[in-house]
Amino acid sequence: MKVLKRLVSKDSSIKYLFELSDGETVESLHMYDAESKLTYHSTICVSSQVGCRIGCKFCATGAEGFVRNLSGDEIFQQVNISNADCVNSGTIPIDAVVFAGMGEPLLNYENVKCAIHKINSELGINNFELATAGVVPGIYKMIEDFNGKHINVRLNISLHASAEDQRKRIIPLACQYHIPELIKAAVDYADAFDTRVRIRYALFKGFNDTQDDVERLCALLGNKPLKLIVSRYNDNNVSGLAAPDLSEVEEFCRRFDKRIDCGIFYNFGSDIKGGCGQLRRNHADYHLPNSKFNFEKNY
């Protein structure tokens, strides 16, 4: 596996484009918390698949279709190479690994699990975070596999909508797993690990930012061990969805008025195509006119 591109953002995050042994490419994003505002200060967001089957309408990776799963070692190498880069440049070694790059990690669960154990045993990293578009059986598999273990795997669920029909319009998987069973799985996970599950909500201007959305989210998440994390849609021109200003994201969060636990995720690396799949797509557009993507979209 070799580094094809390494882009450094003005916010110090680093985007890597890796080439795999069969010529496919995947991305990782290293996020450096220079101001020590976050729980972890040197985090890498890794890919678990080449492409993705889920086909979320707002995602550059989803628009390209699915190619293949990454092996446990290919996932491990993304962390290993970036960690060596941190050590060589004198910055903080990686202290947390996030599975929120290209691919749905719970559709490549065994290899992801294998990578988690290898990263833990070889690099001593104990903190992991996994983001799923809502593969409910995978959430219960994680409860089974990590309960009582010393490895900390924080769960994020990409909700991105407050109502079923609205969610189906942007996440095809929503036709298979509905919001109530997703919320139940999130609560079961939080209870099993005595933690809070993060419910991710990318804000799209004029789509999921109304007062009705606020009321529905309060009804769904209130009095549960869940935290709503709102972020600004990382505009990638894949669909007609529009990104709000940061001030609009902040205003949306203020409307919850402490009725539910709510925070904002400030996107890293916007100037270096930090969003999932953006750099790979850009690279493919200009360098791989005969790329091997197949446009399989169905889950």
Q: Which residues are catalytic?
A: 27, 276
Does residue 120 touch ligand SF4 according to CB under 6 A?
no
Does residue 62 touch ligand SF4 according to CB under 6 A?
yes
* Residue 67: closest CA among 56, 81, 53, 57: 53
Q: How far is the CB of 215 from ligand SF4 (least distance, A)?
A: 26
Does residue 103 touch ligand SF4 according to CB under 6 A?
yes
Q: How far is the CB of 52 from ligand SF4 (least distance, A)?
A: 3
Does residue 55 touch ligand SF4 according to CB under 6 A?
yes
Does residue 52 touch ligand SF4 according to CB under 6 A?
yes
Does residue 136 touch ligand SF4 according to CB under 6 A?
no
Does residue 112 touch ligand SF4 according to CB under 6 A?
no
Q: How far is the CB of 109 from ligand SF4 (least distance, A)?
A: 14
Q: How far is the CB of 51 from ligand SF4 (least distance, A)?
A: 8
Residues 197/234/55/284 CA torsion (nearest 10 deg):
-130
Q: How far is the CB of 90 from ligand SF4 (least distance, A)?
A: 32
Stretch that binds ligand SF4, among 11-19, 57-65, 146-154, 255-263 (CB under 6 A): 57-65
In DSSP notation, the chain reads -EEEEEEE-TTS-EEEEEEPTTS-EEEEEEEE-TT--SS-SEEEEE-SEEE-SS--TT-HHHHH-EEEEPPHHHHHHHHHHHHHHHHHTTSPPP-EEEE-SSS-GGGSHHHHHHHHHHHHHHH---EEEEEES--HHHHHHHHHHHTT-S-EEEEEEE---SSHHHHHHH-GGGGTS-HHHHHHHHHHHHHHHTS-EEEEEEE-TTTS-SHHHHHHHHHHHTTSSEEEEEEE----SSSS--PPPHHHHHHHHHTTTTSS-EEEEPPS-GGGT-STTHHHHHHHHHH-TT---------
Alpha-carbon separation of residue 89 from 48, 92, 123, 182 (angstroms): 26, 9, 17, 41
Q: Which is nearer to ligand SF4, 100 or 218 (CB)?
A: 100
Q: How far is the CB of 156 from ligand SF4 (least distance, A)?
A: 11
Does residue 134 touch ligand SF4 according to CB under 6 A?
no
Query: Which residue's CB atom is positioned nearest to ligand SF4?
Result: 62
Does residue 56 touch ligand SF4 according to CB under 6 A?
yes
Among 64, 104, 129, 209, binds ligand SF4 (CB under 6 A): 104
Size of the site for ligand SF4 (CB under 6 A): 12
Does residue 125 touch ligand SF4 according to CB under 6 A?
no
Does residue 54 touch ligand SF4 according to CB under 6 A?
yes
Does residue 59 touch ligand SF4 according to CB under 6 A?
yes
Does residue 119 touch ligand SF4 according to CB under 6 A?
no
| Interacting residue ranges for ligand SF4, rule: CB under 6 A | 52, 54-56, 59, 61-62, 102-104, 133, 276
